[in-house]
Copies of this chain bind each other. A is one copy, B any other.
Amino acid sequence: MRGFAMVDFGKAEWIEKERPKPGPYDAIVKPIAVAPCTSDIHTVFEAAFPREMCEFPRILGHEAVGEVVEVGSHVKDFKPGDRVVVPAITPDWRTLDVQRGYHQHSGGMLAGWKFSNPLKEGGKDGVFAEYFHVNDADMNLAHLPDEIKPEVAVMATDMMTTGFHGAELADIPLGGTVAVIGIGPVGLMAVAGARLLGAGRIIAVGSRPVCVEAAKYYGATDIVNRREHPDIAGRILELTGGEGVDSVIIAGGNVDVMKTAVKIVKPGGTVANINYFGSGDYLPIPRIEWGQGMAHKTIKGGLCPGGRLRMERLLDLIKYGRVDPSRLITHKFKGFDKIPEALYLMKDKPKDLIKPVVIIEE
């Protein structure tokens, strides 16, 4: 079968590989719609892991809706022909880490991330292939409701679950004020998530006009544009009469964003990170604004939840009209062969881009 793969750090191309086989609890799925993600770009172009720990070629992609083509002997709830939503995070549910409460880290820190993960240990091929392998299908797949288009549902697999997780981590009081730093597709879903979880005022930090408009659509009440207000923290304190915000969601920026976040959050408030930090040795917590260690400004950060129940609940939010992620999709491609073109958009970031999808089959 064909797949679009990283053949080495810095280099991605079409490859031929054998079609995967399911274990007794697994499924093989062929994609109906996929979306590239900024982290695919990170994977290829940032060399986040030592080369000797990685396996090449590694097929890219972790956002997909597909059709089941084969299932293992012990799979109960899915059969060939079923249309399914595949979460980016597909944990091994049989680990003590799950008993501890964090399936994202089942088998080790971040080990719930398998698709397109280049590590030999824990990683596997992604969804930019004619067929891909899903571990523990009954626990990791969700049925695609008839009411939802595949290209819309694909937004649930990573963008929604990640952005909403920011809101979940942020301990937003009902009617509280939230700042969302970064309004790419994940930040936009963080805005939507903050609204879904009861925020009153939502201050979004970003500057690209296409994103600013979408942020307002998803619930932002104030926009802080870095170009107009390079001192983001000062501007947010000004907007809030010096008080700051109840919760901050970090959805972009480099490690120094932590300085801004801690400055603007009230004592007793929470900073929630969902951003992947690809470089820098440390995230600096500013000592004075952290109350010399005693301000009760809580700092959290975590990988998005995956698994079947999470997908089912996110799909319900779409189905019942609580959120419409289709507003994220600015570029639609048709056909399997368009995957590279869609992917490189995430690298080049044209002015009008939020998120592309590739519709492989209608």
Contacts and interface: CB of A to CB of B under 8 A. Distances in A.
Given A303-B296, A309-B100, A282 B286 contact: yes
A198 interface: yes
Given A99-B307, A196-B198, A314 B273 contact: no
Nearest to A164: B174
A82 interface: no
A278 interface: yes
Which bucket holds chain A's interface residue count?
A: 35 or more
Identical copies in the complex: 4
B303 A294 contact: yes
Given A98-B93, A102-B267, A268-B102, A177 B294 contact: no
A174 B196 contact: yes
A319 B284 CA distance: 36
Given A174-B168, A255-B287, A314-B175, A99 B309 contact: yes
Nearest to A108: B267
A101 interface: yes
A48 B291 CA distance: 12
A215 to B, nearest CB: 14
Contact of A283 (B102, B273, B280, B284): B284
B287 A281 contact: yes
A275 B293 contact: yes
A273 B293 contact: yes
A2 interface: no
Interface string A263-294: 00011100001111111111111110011111
B258 A296 contact: no
Contacts of A96: 139, 308-309
A72 interface: no
Given A101-B268, A267-B102, A294 B301 contact: yes
B290 A296 contact: no
A275 B337 CA distance: 57
Contacts of A290: 283, 301
B292 A302 contact: no
B308 A301 contact: no
Given A94-B136, A97-B267, A99-B307, A201 B320 contact: yes
Nearest to A104: B296
A109 B295 contact: yes
Given A104-B294, A109-B267, 7 more contacts: A96-B139, A101-B268, A175-B316, A200-B319, A276-B292, A294-B301, A296-B302
Query: Which A-B residue pairs are the 8 nearest by beta carbons?
Result: A175-B313, A200-B316, A282-B284, A105-B267, A296-B302, A102-B268, A99-B309, A294-B303
